């Protein structure tokens, strides 16, 4: 059920509100028989606005909402009274949501902060009333601007998981097991590939009441950067992680080769991913003894590594120490002081 509720991609039709028309009006009261123009401006049309919400973790609320329509601006009136703005529509989205133009695929912006608001589609501008058009040679203009029409565009919203540490590995590498051991997350765990088909987040408790967020990313396969095995959907969740923990089982036929395949998939998808700090965890080490671990050393790639077992909880504390060093930011302490 959780997998069905996790939605990281939606395509919606957005229609912003039309602006209200400016008013053609002249001042008339018991003291003024033929007053000057006092037509007010029309109100702008309603915007469609995305708002970041840390308590929302999926785009499920928009999956079945194919049309989002903002309100029309109110027309201006006499006495230089401007019309009310059209009703804005706020859409609460998870942090890490990327907005794209559906026609061009161009990225427009990304929501990364709680409470951050960005206009997805702006409403039409309200028209000027006739009071704006008064001149020395035209004291009584009998015209005003109409409001600008609203816009209708298709938008794509994609979710990229925000986490401090992303777990990278082939299917069945032990990522979900590790997450369940170091956090309170309860991902599905089974002895077959692709048990995890949506990202799972867990908060890892560290020393002195500190913590960091770990993301269990669905397993990557060779040629994932070409879209094989839903590769693009999986790989984009790695883009917003601060550090990467590569996980390869100790009984893998060629650990170095498997690591190279994983690195290549990341590089082919987005070369900037290789700029992130990396750590290699050799998993399921309860299956081998210390002597076997030593025999594996010549096969390991040139990258910092650890031998761990989530089931036997071997090397877990050392792993937390290494990961904390990778994601720790000194400015966090300054903010707390």
> In this model, does residue 229 exceed pLDDT 80?
no
DSSP characters over 164-183: EEEEE-STTSSHHHHHHHHS
Place 208 in a pLDDT band, splitting at 50, 70 and 90.
Answer: confident
| Residue 279 shares a structural domain with residue 230 | yes
Range with top average pLDDT, 25-29, 143-147, 167-171: 143-147
pLDDT at 323: 93
Q: Which domain holds residue 76?
A: 1-159
pLDDT, mean over the chain: 84
Place 186 in a pLDDT band, splitting at 50, 70 and 90.
Answer: low
**For 56-76, what is each residue's pLDDT tens digit?**
878 888 988 889 999 999 999
Tokens of 296: 């594996």
**For 1-45, what is each residue's pLDDT tens digit?**
344 566 778 999 999 999 999 999 998 887 877 889 999 999 999
What is the domain-level CATH number for residue 85? 2.70.210.12
Average pLDDT over residues 300-316: 91
Structural domain ending residue among the three candidates 129, 159, 189: 159
CB 123 within 8 A of CB 82: no
- Spatial distance between the Cα atoms of 164 and 91, rounded to a whole number of angstroms: 26
Q: Which residues contact 128 (CB under 8 A, 6 or more apart)?
A: 22, 41, 144, 145
- Spatial distance between the Cα atoms of 29 and 38, rounded to a whole number of angstroms: 12
| Residue 180 shares a structural domain with residue 103 | no
Closest Cα partner for 322 from 251, 245, 264, 217?
245
| Residue 54 shares a structural domain with residue 79 | yes
| Residue 37 shares a structural domain with residue 124 | yes
Q: What is the pTM of this model?
A: 0.68
| Residue 196 shares a structural domain with residue 84 | no
Average pLDDT over residues 269-280: 89
**For 103-133, what is each residue's pLDDT tens digit?**
998 999 999 899 999 999 999 999 999 999 9
Look at the chain and report how many structural domains it folds into.
2
pLDDT at 45: 97
What is the domain-level CATH number for residue 296? 3.40.50.300
- Spatial distance between the Cα atoms of 131 and 80, rounded to a whole number of angstroms: 7
Structural domain ending residue among the three candidates 136, 159, 182: 159
Structural domain ending residue among the three candidates 138, 159, 180: 159
């Amino acid at each position: 059920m959780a997998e069905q509720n996790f939605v990281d991609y939606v395509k919606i039709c957005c229609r912003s509100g039309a602006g209200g028309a400016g008013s053609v009006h002249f001042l008339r009261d018991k003291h003024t028989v033929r007053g000057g123009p006092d037509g007010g401006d029309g109100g702008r049309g309603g915007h469609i606005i995305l708002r970041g919400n840390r308590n929302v973790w999926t785009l499920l609320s928009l999956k079945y909402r194919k049309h989002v329509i903002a309100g029309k601006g109110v027309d201006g009136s006499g006495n230089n009274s401007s019309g009310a703005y059209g009703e804005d529509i706020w859409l609460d989205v998870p942090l890490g949501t990327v907005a794209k133009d559906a026609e061009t695929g161009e990225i427009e912006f990304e929501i990364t902060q709680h409470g951050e608001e960005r206009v997805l589609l702006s409403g039409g501008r309200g028209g000027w009333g006739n009071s704006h058009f008064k001149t020395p040679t035209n004291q009584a203009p009998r015209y005003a601007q109409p409001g600008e029409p609203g816009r209708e565009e298709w938008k794509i919203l994609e979710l990229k998981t925000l986490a401090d540490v992303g777990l990278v590995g082939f299917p069945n590498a032990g990522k979900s097991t590790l997450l369940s051991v170091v956090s309170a997350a309860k991902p599905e765990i089974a002895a077959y590939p692709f048990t995890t088909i949506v990202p799972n987040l867990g908060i890892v408790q560290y020393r002195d009441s500190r913590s960091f967020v770990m993301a269990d990313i669905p397993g990557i396969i060779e040629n994932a950067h070409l879209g094989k095995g839903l590769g693009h959907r999986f790989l984009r969740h790695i883009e917003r992680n601060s550090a990467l923990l590569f996980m390869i089982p100790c009984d893998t036929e060629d650990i170095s080769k498997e690591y190279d395949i994983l690195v290549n998939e990341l590089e082919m998808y987005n070369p900037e991913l290789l700029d992130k700090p990396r750590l290699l965890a050799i998993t399921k080490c309860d299956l081998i003894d210390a002597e076997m671990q030593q025999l594996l050393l010549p096969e390991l790639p040139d990258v910092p590594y650890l031998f761990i077992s989530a089931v036997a909880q071997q090397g877990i504390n050392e792993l937390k120490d290494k990961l904390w060093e990778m994601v720790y930011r000194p400015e966090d302490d300054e903010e707390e002081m």
